[in-house]
Amino acid sequence: MTHDNTLVETVAGAIRGVDDGRVTAWKGIRYAAPPIGDLRWRAPQPVKPWPHVYDATRYGYACPQPVDPRLPIDLGAPQGEDCLTLNVWASSDTSAGDRKPVMVWLHGGAYILGSAGQPLYDGRALTASGDVIVVTVNYRLGALGFLDLSEFDSPSRHYDSNLGLRDVLAALHWVRDNIAAFGGDPDRVTLFGESAGAGLITTLLTSPAAEGLFAAAIAQSSPATSVYDVSRAHRIARKVVDRLGLSVAEVDRLPEVPVGAIVAASTDVFYETPLSAPGTLAFAPNVDGDLVPDYPVKLAREGRSHPVPLIIGTNKHEAALFKWLKSPLMPITPEAIRAMFNQIAAEQPHLQLPTDDQMGAAYANLRGRARGMGVARDLGFRMPSVWLAEGHSTVAAVYLYRFDFATPMLRLLRIAAAHATELPFVWGNLKSSAKDPTFKLGGVKTGRAVSERMRTRWLNFATQGEPIGPPGEPDWRPYREPDHESLLIGRQDAVISDIDSDIRATWGTQVLNFR
């Protein structure tokens, strides 16, 4: 590959992308066979080679998913089941022999939404410097990606578990086998993602099948403890089957059911689940004893995670987005939090849950819904990240952060540093959508500086193994006893010792997993 040649030979055949003079992009590249018909709810299968030059100038289909008017997402492409594609960006001067570090992105969306083609994840800003190759991955979502139908196995039909996770593994195998042709180094792959994408990453950190497929990881706002046991996954599967009007004897017909009906039925189950079981998701990785041998945070705390350096962190006001969207996904009201605690106590009676006095001390400065948002933030995101950081730090360097920056508009909306608000700064795409309110009241200049610092640290982590900031910025050291240092990302960056001391004392070292 040369700077004026977008033709690349992959294992399956030649592809042609497009070069804008700064960055070359190849979009919609198949990394697995279309998961349709008999391959629906089956592990991804190898792609069939193509005889002609593959047109890699447009994003592939986004995985079928519900359209939420409260959260309009530009998926970058139409929806379709033939969605197992990925996208590659490299600076225009990249050559096949360069062996640049690679950053592989997994998008978020509560395991039911999102796409690798979202304008927010355009890789031009990250790759323009020429330091890295960027890959973004589509994986199956919702019932197509995380419905466990294994209890319905029959002589005529087999169903695989954790399909979305298996898709990511297939994409990582594709990167290992093909990225050198784009100028990337398959031995220096950093897997990074946010929300559900980060949850896949923290799950893969303890999956034997992922060993050797990535050399570093970045998990932004990972719901690391939202991994469930098979019995819960089977209950969800039966609800979806029932909602589709199928009897147990008719489950073999599932591969023939129109995808729109599957999305509609699973969406109903998705929104009903946190109402009956606050704090839980209908669709997420489950402990199948194979790909996911046990709860990832538990394994990490036993020193059984892959020894790769890790950046992990959360946003200061994670739950504010869910309150703003009136979403049931996070328990915020006192009633929902009480129900969640009762459920945890019933499922895990050996755990010592925080007392009212401990909760009062930890959240003394918060009242009403604000207290509920603090509890939801810490149980859903912050403490799982801290628990995992504490465990993983025994096998590799861990860098813990908290994203505190908020623009004037986000503060006015009372969202502030909410869930997903760090994404434009990581990607350098501060204005990827005309509907995005982030900078409606200004703050672009400061936002660009925040983005420059974050991208520098993320890129240096991928290229040098340490999240070194621009000259003059504080030294972000690994998270370890007794300092428990975290990087606070705001208008200015700061390294602070044990910003989580109150909540660590409250929630303790006992990992709260939903069963």
* Antiparallel, parallel or unpaired: β 13-16 and 7-10: antiparallel
The order of strands in the sheet holding 85-91 is 18-19, 23-30, 85-91, 133-137, 100-106, 184-194, 216-220, 310-315, 398-403, 485-489, 493-497
- Give pLDDT, residue 449: 97
CATH topology of domain 7-507: Rossmann fold (3.40.50)
| Catalytic residue (choose from 81, 194, 318, 422) | 318
| Catalytic residue (choose from 91, 195, 266, 486) | 195
Chunked into runs of 10 residues, the chain (515 residues) has average pLDDT values of 72 97 97 97 97 97 90 92 98 94 97 97 95 98 97 91 98 98 98 98 98 98 94 96 94 94 97 91 95 95 97 96 85 79 72 74 75 86 94 98 96 94 96 83 95 98 97 96 95 96 82 59
Report helix, strand or coil for 313.
Answer: strand
Residue 340: both structure tokens together: 């969640």
Q: What is the 3-state secondary structure (H, E, C) of 396-444?
A: CCEEEEEECCCCHHHHHCCCCCECCCCHHHHHCCCCCCCCCCCCCCCCH
Cα–Cα distance for residue pair 127/129, rounded to 1 Å: 5
- Give pLDDT, residue 11: 97
Phi first, then psi, for residue 81 (nearest 5°) are -65, -25
What are the Cα distances from residue 33, in Å, to 17, 36, 47? Answer: 20, 9, 4
Alpha helical stretches, state H, 75-183: 124-127, 142-146, 163-178
CB 293 within 8 A of CB 287: yes
| Catalytic residue (choose from 317, 392, 419, 484) | 419
- Give pLDDT, residue 36: 97
Q: Is 195 a catalytic residue?
A: yes
Please tell me the pTM assigned to this model: 0.96
Q: Is 419 a catalytic residue?
A: yes
Cα–Cα distance for residue pair 129/198, rounded to 1 Å: 25
CB 77 within 8 A of CB 58: yes
- Give pLDDT, residue 350: 67
Residue 384: both structure tokens together: 């799982």
- Give pLDDT, residue 341: 77
Phi first, then psi, for residue 59 (nearest 5°) are -60, 145
CB 416 within 8 A of CB 410: yes
Q: What is the 3-state secondary structure (H, E, C) of 222-276?
A: CCCCCCEEHHHHHHHHHHHHHHCCCCHHHHHHHHHCCHHHHHHHHHHHHHHHHHH
- Give pLDDT, residue 506: 86
- Give pLDDT, residue 2: 42
DSSP state of 378: I
Q: Which amino acid is at 380?
A: G
